[in-house]
Amino acid sequence: MWNSAPRTTREIRMTSTSDALVVFGITGDLAYKQIFPALQAMVQRGHLDVPIIGVAQSGDLDQLRARARDSLDKHGGVDEKAFAQLCANLKYVAGDYQDSATFDRLRKALGGAARPLHYLAVPPPLFAVVAERLSQSGCAKGGRVVVEKPFGHNLASARMLNRTLHLYFSESSIFRIDHYLGKEPVQNLLYFRFANSFLEPIWNRNYVASVQITMAESFGIGGRERFYEETGAIRDVVQNHLLQVTSILASDAPASTDPEAIRDQKTQIFKAMRPLAPTDLVRGQFTGYREEDGVAADSSVETFVAVRLAIDTWRWAGVPFFLRAGKRLPVTATEVMVTLKRPPQAVFGEIEPRQSNFLRFRLSPNVVIALGARAKVPGEAMIGEEVELIARHHSGDEMAPYERLLGDAMRGDATLFAGEDSVEAAWRVVDPVLGDATPVYCYAPNTWGPHEANALVGGEGGWHDPRVHEVAP
Protein backbone atom coordinates (compact mmCIF):
# COMPACT_ATOMS: atom_id res chain seq x y z
CA MET A 1 0.00 0.00 0.00
CA TRP A 2 2.66 2.51 1.01
CA ASN A 3 4.51 2.37 -2.28
CA SER A 4 6.31 5.66 -1.86
CA ALA A 5 7.08 5.26 1.82
CA PRO A 6 10.34 3.89 3.15
CA ARG A 7 9.90 0.30 4.20
CA THR A 8 10.50 -0.75 7.77
CA THR A 9 12.40 -3.88 8.72
CA ARG A 10 9.15 -5.49 9.75
CA GLU A 11 7.55 -4.72 6.41
CA ILE A 12 10.48 -6.14 4.50
CA ARG A 13 10.30 -9.29 6.61
CA MET A 14 6.59 -9.57 5.89
CA THR A 15 6.64 -8.90 2.23
CA SER A 16 7.78 -12.12 0.61
CA THR A 17 5.13 -12.45 -2.05
CA SER A 18 2.82 -15.43 -2.19
CA ASP A 19 3.78 -17.89 -4.91
CA ALA A 20 0.34 -19.45 -5.38
CA LEU A 21 -3.24 -18.32 -4.89
CA VAL A 22 -5.88 -20.80 -3.79
CA VAL A 23 -9.52 -19.71 -3.98
CA PHE A 24 -11.97 -21.85 -2.03
CA GLY A 25 -15.51 -21.33 -3.32
CA ILE A 26 -14.29 -20.44 -6.83
CA THR A 27 -17.70 -21.32 -8.33
CA GLY A 28 -19.57 -19.10 -5.85
CA ASP A 29 -21.19 -15.71 -6.08
CA LEU A 30 -18.28 -13.71 -4.64
CA ALA A 31 -15.80 -15.21 -7.10
CA TYR A 32 -18.21 -14.53 -9.95
CA LYS A 33 -18.88 -10.92 -9.04
CA GLN A 34 -15.60 -9.77 -7.50
CA ILE A 35 -12.72 -12.22 -7.58
CA PHE A 36 -12.44 -13.02 -11.31
CA PRO A 37 -12.57 -9.32 -12.28
CA ALA A 38 -9.93 -8.61 -9.63
CA LEU A 39 -7.71 -11.42 -10.92
CA GLN A 40 -7.94 -10.21 -14.52
CA ALA A 41 -7.10 -6.66 -13.43
CA MET A 42 -4.09 -7.93 -11.48
CA VAL A 43 -2.87 -9.85 -14.53
CA GLN A 44 -3.35 -6.72 -16.69
CA ARG A 45 -1.15 -4.70 -14.35
CA GLY A 46 1.47 -7.45 -14.27
CA HIS A 47 0.73 -8.12 -10.58
CA LEU A 48 -0.25 -11.76 -10.85
CA ASP A 49 1.73 -14.50 -12.51
CA VAL A 50 1.51 -17.48 -10.16
CA PRO A 51 -0.60 -20.65 -10.16
CA ILE A 52 -4.23 -19.92 -9.28
CA ILE A 53 -5.98 -22.96 -7.89
CA GLY A 54 -9.73 -22.89 -7.66
CA VAL A 55 -11.39 -25.24 -5.19
CA ALA A 56 -15.09 -26.08 -5.16
CA GLN A 57 -17.35 -29.04 -4.57
CA SER A 58 -17.91 -30.07 -8.20
CA GLY A 59 -17.13 -29.28 -11.83
CA ASP A 60 -13.94 -29.31 -13.91
CA LEU A 61 -11.36 -26.93 -15.30
CA ASP A 62 -13.18 -26.31 -18.60
CA GLN A 63 -16.34 -25.37 -16.74
CA LEU A 64 -14.32 -23.09 -14.49
CA ARG A 65 -12.74 -21.29 -17.45
CA ALA A 66 -16.18 -20.84 -19.00
CA ARG A 67 -17.51 -19.41 -15.74
CA ALA A 68 -14.52 -17.08 -15.47
CA ARG A 69 -15.20 -15.77 -18.98
CA ASP A 70 -18.88 -15.33 -18.21
CA SER A 71 -18.04 -13.50 -14.97
CA LEU A 72 -15.74 -11.10 -16.82
CA ASP A 73 -18.26 -10.59 -19.63
CA LYS A 74 -20.77 -9.40 -17.04
CA HIS A 75 -18.34 -7.41 -14.90
CA GLY A 76 -16.24 -5.08 -16.98
CA GLY A 77 -15.41 -7.21 -20.04
CA VAL A 78 -12.84 -9.81 -21.11
CA ASP A 79 -9.32 -8.66 -22.00
CA GLU A 80 -8.32 -11.62 -24.22
CA LYS A 81 -4.57 -11.30 -23.57
CA ALA A 82 -4.96 -11.09 -19.79
CA PHE A 83 -7.65 -13.76 -19.82
CA ALA A 84 -5.40 -16.18 -21.74
CA GLN A 85 -2.66 -15.67 -19.15
CA LEU A 86 -5.14 -16.10 -16.32
CA CYS A 87 -6.41 -19.35 -17.84
CA ALA A 88 -2.89 -20.63 -18.37
CA ASN A 89 -2.28 -20.27 -14.64
CA LEU A 90 -5.65 -21.65 -13.60
CA LYS A 91 -5.94 -25.11 -12.03
CA TYR A 92 -8.92 -26.75 -10.44
CA VAL A 93 -9.45 -29.08 -7.50
CA ALA A 94 -12.96 -30.43 -6.99
CA GLY A 95 -14.05 -32.13 -3.79
CA ASP A 96 -15.76 -32.01 -0.45
CA TYR A 97 -14.25 -29.58 2.07
CA GLN A 98 -14.70 -32.20 4.81
CA ASP A 99 -12.74 -34.80 2.87
CA SER A 100 -9.00 -34.91 3.47
CA ALA A 101 -8.49 -36.39 -0.04
CA THR A 102 -9.54 -32.99 -1.48
CA PHE A 103 -6.69 -31.37 0.40
CA ASP A 104 -4.21 -34.04 -0.65
CA ARG A 105 -5.07 -33.17 -4.25
CA LEU A 106 -4.61 -29.50 -3.41
CA ARG A 107 -1.17 -30.23 -1.94
CA LYS A 108 -0.20 -31.89 -5.23
CA ALA A 109 -1.59 -29.00 -7.27
CA LEU A 110 0.45 -26.56 -5.18
CA GLY A 111 3.64 -28.33 -6.26
CA GLY A 112 6.64 -26.54 -4.79
CA ALA A 113 4.75 -23.40 -3.66
CA ALA A 114 6.25 -22.29 -0.35
CA ARG A 115 3.93 -19.38 0.54
CA PRO A 116 0.45 -20.01 -0.82
CA LEU A 117 -2.35 -17.57 -0.14
CA HIS A 118 -5.60 -19.36 0.69
CA TYR A 119 -8.70 -17.29 0.09
CA LEU A 120 -11.73 -18.67 1.97
CA ALA A 121 -14.60 -17.36 -0.17
CA VAL A 122 -16.91 -19.93 1.41
CA PRO A 123 -19.82 -19.70 3.89
CA PRO A 124 -18.57 -18.82 7.42
CA PRO A 125 -19.48 -22.22 8.96
CA LEU A 126 -16.80 -23.74 6.70
CA PHE A 127 -13.91 -21.45 7.77
CA ALA A 128 -12.80 -23.65 10.66
CA VAL A 129 -12.98 -26.95 8.83
CA VAL A 130 -11.08 -25.65 5.79
CA ALA A 131 -8.37 -24.15 8.01
CA GLU A 132 -8.02 -27.43 9.88
CA ARG A 133 -7.81 -29.52 6.70
CA LEU A 134 -5.28 -27.09 5.22
CA SER A 135 -3.11 -27.63 8.25
CA GLN A 136 -3.49 -31.42 8.36
CA SER A 137 -2.59 -31.74 4.67
CA GLY A 138 0.49 -29.52 4.97
CA CYS A 139 -1.05 -26.86 2.68
CA ALA A 140 -1.02 -24.25 5.48
CA LYS A 141 2.76 -24.45 5.93
CA GLY A 142 4.31 -21.08 5.14
CA GLY A 143 0.89 -19.95 3.93
CA ARG A 144 -1.48 -17.07 4.48
CA VAL A 145 -5.23 -17.11 4.76
CA VAL A 146 -7.82 -14.53 3.70
CA VAL A 147 -11.14 -14.78 5.56
CA GLU A 148 -14.30 -13.17 4.23
CA LYS A 149 -16.77 -11.25 6.33
CA PRO A 150 -18.82 -11.66 8.45
CA PHE A 151 -16.01 -12.70 10.78
CA GLY A 152 -18.15 -14.47 13.38
CA HIS A 153 -21.77 -13.95 14.30
CA ASN A 154 -21.23 -12.18 17.60
CA LEU A 155 -18.37 -11.54 20.04
CA ALA A 156 -18.22 -15.11 21.34
CA SER A 157 -18.13 -16.73 17.90
CA ALA A 158 -15.57 -14.21 16.60
CA ARG A 159 -13.31 -15.07 19.56
CA MET A 160 -13.80 -18.75 18.87
CA LEU A 161 -12.97 -18.28 15.18
CA ASN A 162 -9.84 -16.32 16.08
CA ARG A 163 -8.75 -19.10 18.44
CA THR A 164 -9.39 -21.74 15.78
CA LEU A 165 -7.50 -19.89 13.06
CA HIS A 166 -4.59 -19.29 15.42
CA LEU A 167 -4.20 -23.05 15.82
CA TYR A 168 -3.12 -23.20 12.19
CA PHE A 169 -1.96 -19.70 11.16
CA SER A 170 -0.05 -16.95 12.95
CA GLU A 171 -1.81 -13.58 13.34
CA SER A 172 0.48 -12.00 10.71
CA SER A 173 -0.69 -14.65 8.22
CA ILE A 174 -4.42 -14.02 8.76
CA PHE A 175 -6.10 -11.42 6.53
CA ARG A 176 -9.67 -10.59 7.63
CA ILE A 177 -11.10 -8.85 4.62
CA ASP A 178 -13.39 -5.82 4.76
CA HIS A 179 -13.68 -4.55 1.20
CA TYR A 180 -14.54 -1.05 2.45
CA LEU A 181 -10.95 -0.67 3.56
CA GLY A 182 -9.82 -1.30 0.00
CA LYS A 183 -11.94 1.51 -1.40
CA GLU A 184 -10.01 4.44 -2.80
CA PRO A 185 -12.11 7.11 -1.00
CA VAL A 186 -11.73 5.32 2.32
CA GLN A 187 -7.98 5.34 1.81
CA ASN A 188 -8.25 8.98 0.93
CA LEU A 189 -9.96 9.66 4.26
CA LEU A 190 -6.89 8.33 6.01
CA TYR A 191 -4.59 10.22 3.68
CA PHE A 192 -6.50 13.49 3.86
CA ARG A 193 -6.57 13.40 7.65
CA PHE A 194 -2.87 12.87 8.15
CA ALA A 195 -1.36 14.65 5.14
CA ASN A 196 -2.86 18.06 6.01
CA SER A 197 -1.96 20.28 8.93
CA PHE A 198 -5.05 22.52 8.84
CA LEU A 199 -7.34 19.72 9.93
CA GLU A 200 -5.70 18.61 13.15
CA PRO A 201 -6.43 21.72 15.28
CA ILE A 202 -10.18 21.44 14.62
CA TRP A 203 -10.49 17.65 14.57
CA ASN A 204 -11.73 17.21 18.11
CA ARG A 205 -14.53 17.89 20.61
CA ASN A 206 -13.72 21.62 20.72
CA TYR A 207 -14.73 22.20 17.10
CA VAL A 208 -16.67 19.16 15.93
CA ALA A 209 -20.35 19.13 16.88
CA SER A 210 -21.22 15.73 15.42
CA VAL A 211 -20.20 13.17 12.83
CA GLN A 212 -22.69 11.36 10.62
CA ILE A 213 -22.12 8.45 8.28
CA THR A 214 -24.94 7.40 5.99
CA MET A 215 -24.66 4.24 3.93
CA ALA A 216 -27.86 4.27 1.91
CA GLU A 217 -28.80 1.68 -0.71
CA SER A 218 -31.86 2.03 -2.89
CA PHE A 219 -31.94 -1.67 -3.77
CA GLY A 220 -33.21 -4.52 -1.57
CA ILE A 221 -31.81 -7.91 -0.66
CA GLY A 222 -32.06 -9.33 -4.22
CA GLY A 223 -31.02 -13.00 -4.16
CA ARG A 224 -29.23 -12.88 -0.79
CA GLU A 225 -32.28 -13.48 1.40
CA ARG A 226 -30.87 -16.53 3.21
CA PHE A 227 -27.62 -14.76 4.03
CA TYR A 228 -29.48 -11.65 5.11
CA GLU A 229 -31.85 -13.55 7.39
CA GLU A 230 -28.76 -14.79 9.26
CA THR A 231 -27.10 -11.40 9.19
CA GLY A 232 -29.20 -8.21 9.16
CA ALA A 233 -27.88 -4.70 8.72
CA ILE A 234 -25.94 -4.50 12.01
CA ARG A 235 -23.82 -7.56 11.24
CA ASP A 236 -23.73 -6.95 7.49
CA VAL A 237 -22.40 -3.40 7.39
CA VAL A 238 -22.24 -1.71 10.82
CA GLN A 239 -19.95 -4.06 12.75
CA ASN A 240 -17.47 -3.91 9.88
CA HIS A 241 -17.75 -1.24 7.15
CA LEU A 242 -19.24 1.61 9.19
CA LEU A 243 -17.19 1.05 12.34
CA GLN A 244 -14.05 0.79 10.20
CA VAL A 245 -14.79 4.14 8.56
CA THR A 246 -15.53 5.58 12.01
CA SER A 247 -12.18 4.34 13.32
CA ILE A 248 -10.35 6.05 10.44
CA LEU A 249 -12.20 9.30 11.09
CA ALA A 250 -11.55 9.19 14.81
CA SER A 251 -8.07 7.71 15.22
CA ASP A 252 -4.93 9.58 16.21
CA ALA A 253 -2.02 9.86 13.81
CA PRO A 254 0.11 6.74 13.54
CA ALA A 255 3.70 7.16 14.69
CA SER A 256 5.06 5.57 11.50
CA THR A 257 4.00 4.06 8.20
CA ASP A 258 4.38 0.62 9.68
CA PRO A 259 1.10 -1.26 8.99
CA GLU A 260 0.90 -2.11 12.68
CA ALA A 261 1.11 1.57 13.67
CA ILE A 262 -2.03 2.46 11.72
CA ARG A 263 -3.90 -0.61 12.85
CA ASP A 264 -2.91 0.03 16.48
CA GLN A 265 -4.37 3.55 16.39
CA LYS A 266 -7.59 2.26 14.92
CA THR A 267 -7.76 -0.51 17.50
CA GLN A 268 -7.52 2.10 20.26
CA ILE A 269 -10.63 3.73 18.80
CA PHE A 270 -12.52 0.46 18.57
CA LYS A 271 -11.69 -0.14 22.21
CA ALA A 272 -12.88 3.36 23.16
CA MET A 273 -16.26 2.94 21.43
CA ARG A 274 -18.89 2.60 24.11
CA PRO A 275 -20.89 -0.64 23.71
CA LEU A 276 -24.32 0.21 22.35
CA ALA A 277 -27.34 0.22 24.65
CA PRO A 278 -30.85 -0.44 23.29
CA THR A 279 -31.58 3.30 23.54
CA ASP A 280 -28.67 4.06 21.18
CA LEU A 281 -30.21 2.51 18.11
CA VAL A 282 -33.34 2.12 16.04
CA ARG A 283 -33.89 -0.88 13.80
CA GLY A 284 -36.20 -0.91 10.80
CA GLN A 285 -37.47 -3.40 8.22
CA PHE A 286 -38.86 -2.35 4.86
CA THR A 287 -42.43 -3.33 4.09
CA GLY A 288 -42.39 -6.31 1.77
CA TYR A 289 -39.18 -7.87 3.13
CA ARG A 290 -41.12 -10.69 4.80
CA GLU A 291 -42.75 -11.60 1.48
CA GLU A 292 -39.42 -12.24 -0.22
CA ASP A 293 -38.33 -15.84 -0.97
CA GLY A 294 -36.31 -17.36 1.82
CA VAL A 295 -37.45 -14.79 4.41
CA ALA A 296 -39.44 -15.95 7.46
CA ALA A 297 -43.03 -14.68 7.52
CA ASP A 298 -42.41 -13.30 11.02
CA SER A 299 -38.78 -12.22 10.46
CA SER A 300 -37.53 -9.52 12.81
CA VAL A 301 -34.24 -9.07 10.92
CA GLU A 302 -33.40 -5.40 10.35
CA THR A 303 -32.85 -3.99 6.87
CA PHE A 304 -32.20 -0.54 8.37
CA VAL A 305 -30.37 0.62 11.43
CA ALA A 306 -29.58 4.02 12.90
CA VAL A 307 -27.07 4.32 15.71
CA ARG A 308 -25.80 6.96 18.10
CA LEU A 309 -22.27 6.03 19.10
CA ALA A 310 -19.98 7.53 21.74
CA ILE A 311 -16.19 7.34 21.59
CA ASP A 312 -14.70 7.74 25.04
CA THR A 313 -11.39 9.41 24.28
CA TRP A 314 -9.96 12.81 25.22
CA ARG A 315 -10.40 13.91 21.59
CA TRP A 316 -14.01 12.81 21.12
CA ALA A 317 -15.65 12.98 24.54
CA GLY A 318 -19.21 14.28 24.12
CA VAL A 319 -19.20 14.24 20.28
CA PRO A 320 -21.98 12.00 18.94
CA PHE A 321 -21.21 9.75 15.97
CA PHE A 322 -24.42 8.94 14.10
CA LEU A 323 -24.34 5.94 11.79
CA ARG A 324 -27.18 4.95 9.51
CA ALA A 325 -27.44 2.14 6.95
CA GLY A 326 -30.34 0.62 5.12
CA LYS A 327 -31.77 -1.11 2.07
CA ARG A 328 -34.59 0.29 -0.09
CA LEU A 329 -33.77 3.87 0.88
CA PRO A 330 -34.28 6.78 -1.52
CA VAL A 331 -30.74 6.77 -2.94
CA THR A 332 -27.55 4.69 -3.15
CA ALA A 333 -24.80 6.75 -1.58
CA THR A 334 -22.33 6.58 1.26
CA GLU A 335 -21.40 9.88 2.79
CA VAL A 336 -19.62 11.19 5.88
CA MET A 337 -20.63 14.57 7.27
CA VAL A 338 -18.48 16.16 9.95
CA THR A 339 -20.39 19.15 11.28
CA LEU A 340 -18.42 21.85 13.07
CA LYS A 341 -19.72 23.90 15.94
CA ARG A 342 -21.36 27.25 15.28
CA PRO A 343 -19.34 30.46 15.70
CA PRO A 344 -19.41 31.51 19.37
CA GLN A 345 -21.50 34.62 18.63
CA ALA A 346 -24.28 35.13 16.11
CA VAL A 347 -22.82 38.28 14.52
CA PHE A 348 -25.01 37.95 11.41
CA GLY A 349 -28.01 36.28 13.03
CA GLU A 350 -28.54 32.80 14.33
CA ILE A 351 -27.12 29.90 12.34
CA GLU A 352 -28.93 26.57 12.49
CA PRO A 353 -26.82 23.45 13.17
CA ARG A 354 -27.46 22.39 9.57
CA GLN A 355 -25.97 25.66 8.33
CA SER A 356 -22.69 25.32 10.20
CA ASN A 357 -19.34 24.69 8.61
CA PHE A 358 -18.75 21.08 7.70
CA LEU A 359 -16.49 18.63 5.97
CA ARG A 360 -18.23 16.26 3.63
CA PHE A 361 -16.68 13.05 2.34
CA ARG A 362 -18.69 11.24 -0.33
CA LEU A 363 -17.36 7.69 -0.42
CA SER A 364 -19.59 6.26 -3.12
CA PRO A 365 -20.77 6.02 -5.82
CA ASN A 366 -18.70 9.09 -6.73
CA VAL A 367 -15.91 10.54 -4.63
CA VAL A 368 -16.01 14.02 -3.14
CA ILE A 369 -14.14 15.88 -0.42
CA ALA A 370 -15.79 19.20 0.30
CA LEU A 371 -15.61 21.94 2.88
CA GLY A 372 -18.88 23.68 3.66
CA ALA A 373 -18.68 27.36 4.52
CA ARG A 374 -20.95 30.40 4.60
CA ALA A 375 -20.55 33.38 2.32
CA LYS A 376 -22.53 36.57 1.91
CA VAL A 377 -25.26 36.73 -0.70
CA PRO A 378 -24.50 39.73 -2.97
CA GLY A 379 -26.71 42.67 -2.11
CA GLU A 380 -27.49 45.13 0.65
CA ALA A 381 -28.38 42.73 3.42
CA MET A 382 -25.82 40.82 5.49
CA ILE A 383 -27.43 37.52 4.61
CA GLY A 384 -25.40 34.41 3.99
CA GLU A 385 -25.67 31.21 2.04
CA GLU A 386 -23.87 27.92 2.08
CA VAL A 387 -21.01 27.42 -0.33
CA GLU A 388 -18.92 24.33 -0.82
CA LEU A 389 -15.24 24.28 -1.58
CA ILE A 390 -14.70 21.04 -3.44
CA ALA A 391 -11.23 19.70 -2.77
CA ARG A 392 -11.57 16.46 -4.69
CA HIS A 393 -14.20 15.17 -7.05
CA HIS A 394 -14.08 12.19 -9.36
CA SER A 395 -16.45 9.58 -10.55
CA GLY A 396 -15.32 6.43 -8.74
CA ASP A 397 -12.67 3.95 -7.74
CA GLU A 398 -9.69 3.58 -10.00
CA MET A 399 -8.76 0.23 -8.55
CA ALA A 400 -11.50 -2.10 -7.36
CA PRO A 401 -11.23 -2.92 -3.64
CA TYR A 402 -10.83 -6.64 -4.22
CA GLU A 403 -7.93 -6.10 -6.59
CA ARG A 404 -6.16 -3.85 -4.10
CA LEU A 405 -6.79 -6.14 -1.14
CA LEU A 406 -5.86 -9.36 -2.91
CA GLY A 407 -2.63 -7.74 -4.07
CA ASP A 408 -1.87 -6.55 -0.54
CA ALA A 409 -2.56 -9.99 0.93
CA MET A 410 -0.32 -11.62 -1.70
CA ARG A 411 2.46 -9.26 -0.59
CA GLY A 412 1.72 -9.82 3.09
CA ASP A 413 0.73 -6.20 3.74
CA ALA A 414 -1.97 -6.30 6.42
CA THR A 415 -2.56 -2.54 6.72
CA LEU A 416 -6.01 -2.69 5.14
CA PHE A 417 -7.19 -5.80 6.95
CA ALA A 418 -8.90 -6.10 10.31
CA GLY A 419 -6.72 -7.39 13.13
CA GLU A 420 -7.82 -9.80 15.83
CA ASP A 421 -8.16 -7.06 18.47
CA SER A 422 -10.13 -4.64 16.35
CA VAL A 423 -12.53 -7.26 15.05
CA GLU A 424 -13.31 -8.41 18.59
CA ALA A 425 -13.56 -4.84 19.86
CA ALA A 426 -16.02 -4.02 17.05
CA TRP A 427 -18.17 -7.01 18.03
CA ARG A 428 -18.06 -5.82 21.65
CA VAL A 429 -19.68 -2.54 20.49
CA VAL A 430 -22.66 -4.19 18.77
CA ASP A 431 -22.97 -7.35 20.85
CA PRO A 432 -25.51 -5.95 23.37
CA VAL A 433 -27.94 -4.93 20.61
CA LEU A 434 -27.82 -7.96 18.31
CA GLY A 435 -30.95 -10.00 17.59
CA ASP A 436 -34.17 -8.88 19.21
CA ALA A 437 -32.66 -6.68 21.92
CA THR A 438 -34.62 -3.79 20.39
CA PRO A 439 -37.92 -3.63 18.46
CA VAL A 440 -37.91 -3.53 14.68
CA TYR A 441 -40.11 -0.85 13.10
CA CYS A 442 -41.60 -0.98 9.60
CA TYR A 443 -40.73 1.58 6.97
CA ALA A 444 -42.02 2.10 3.46
CA PRO A 445 -39.53 1.41 0.65
CA ASN A 446 -38.00 4.57 -0.79
CA THR A 447 -38.12 6.40 2.56
CA TRP A 448 -35.37 7.13 5.11
CA GLY A 449 -36.33 4.30 7.47
CA PRO A 450 -38.72 4.43 10.41
CA HIS A 451 -39.45 7.89 11.79
CA GLU A 452 -38.33 6.64 15.24
CA ALA A 453 -34.76 7.07 13.91
CA ASN A 454 -35.20 10.85 13.85
CA ALA A 455 -35.32 11.05 17.63
CA LEU A 456 -31.73 9.74 17.84
CA VAL A 457 -30.28 12.87 16.24
CA GLY A 458 -32.69 15.14 18.10
CA GLY A 459 -30.99 18.49 18.71
CA GLU A 460 -28.24 17.93 16.13
CA GLY A 461 -30.14 19.29 13.14
CA GLY A 462 -31.55 15.99 11.87
CA TRP A 463 -30.09 13.36 9.58
CA HIS A 464 -28.06 14.58 6.65
CA ASP A 465 -29.52 13.69 3.26
CA PRO A 466 -26.70 12.79 0.83
CA ARG A 467 -28.81 14.10 -2.07
CA VAL A 468 -28.59 17.68 -0.81
CA HIS A 469 -25.08 18.32 -2.09
CA GLU A 470 -25.20 16.22 -5.23
CA VAL A 471 -22.62 17.53 -7.72
CA ALA A 472 -22.62 16.29 -11.30
CA PRO A 473 -19.39 14.33 -12.00
Q: How far is the CB of 113 from ligand BG6 (least distance, A)?
A: 30
Cα four-point dihedral sign 86, 87, 88, 92: positive
**Residue-level length of the chain:** 473
90/440 with CB nearer ligand BG6: 440
Distance CA 58, CA 79 (A): 27
Residue 11 has, within 13 A of its CA and on its CB side, a CA count of 17
364/438 with CB nearer ligand BG6: 364
Site membership for ligand BG6, residue 236 (CB under 6 A): yes
Distance CA 247, CA 252 (A): 9
- Best CA proximity match to 255, nearest among 201, 314, 202, 194: 194
By CB under 6 A, the residues from 203 to 222 that bind ligand BG6 are 217
By CB under 6 A, the residues from 85 to 104 that bind ligand BG6 are none
Binding marks (x or -) toward ligand BG6, 173..192, rule CB under 6 A? ------x-------------
Q: How far is the CB of 423 from ligand BG6 (least distance, A)?
A: 15
38/110 with CB nearer ligand BG6: 38
Q: How far is the CB of 199 from ligand BG6 (least distance, A)?
A: 25
By CB under 6 A, the residues from 362 to 421 that bind ligand BG6 are 364
Q: How far is the CB of 178 from ligand BG6 (least distance, A)?
A: 8
Which residue's C-beta sits nearest to ligand BG6? 236
2/227 with CB nearer ligand BG6: 227
Q: How far is the CB of 397 from ligand BG6 (least distance, A)?
A: 9
Q: CA dihedral in degrees (159, 163, 164, 170; nearest 10)?
A: 130
Q: CA dihedral in degrees (141, 143, 144, 150; nearest 10)?
A: -50
Q: How far is the CB of 364 from ligand BG6 (least distance, A)?
A: 5
With CB under 6 A as the rule, give the number of residues binding ligand BG6.
5
Backbone angles phi, psi at 220, to 5 degrees: -100, -140
Q: CB of 110 within 8 A of CB of 53?
A: yes
Catalytically annotated residue among 118, 179, 241, 464: 241
Q: How far is the CB of 43 from ligand BG6 (least distance, A)?
A: 22
SS (H, E, C) 94-127: ECCCCCHHHHHHHHHHHCCCCCEEEEECCCHHHH
235/360 with CB nearer ligand BG6: 235
Binding marks (x or -) toward ligand BG6, 32..71, rule CB under 6 A? ----------------------------------------
Q: How far is the CB of 39 from ligand BG6 (least distance, A)?
A: 18
157/332 with CB nearer ligand BG6: 332
Q: Is cis: bond before 201, omega within 30 of 0?
A: no
By CB under 6 A, the residues from 273 to 312 that bind ligand BG6 are none
469 belongs to the catalytic site: no
By CB under 6 A, the residues from 337 to 366 that bind ligand BG6 are 364
> Collapsing DSSP states into helix, strand and coil, what is residue 471?
coil
One-letter amino acid for residue 79 of the chain: D
Distance CA 310, CA 332 (A): 26
E strand map for 115-200: 116-120, 144-147, 174-176
Distance linking the first and last C-alpha atoms of the chain: 27
**H helix intervals, 282-419:** 401-411
- Best CA proximity match to 224, nearest among 214, 243, 215, 237: 237
Q: What is the DSSP string of 40-54?
A: HHHHHTT---S-EEE
237/453 with CB nearer ligand BG6: 237
Which spans of this chain sit near ligand BG6 (rule: CB under 6 A)? 179, 217, 236-237, 364
Positions annotated as catalytic residues are 241
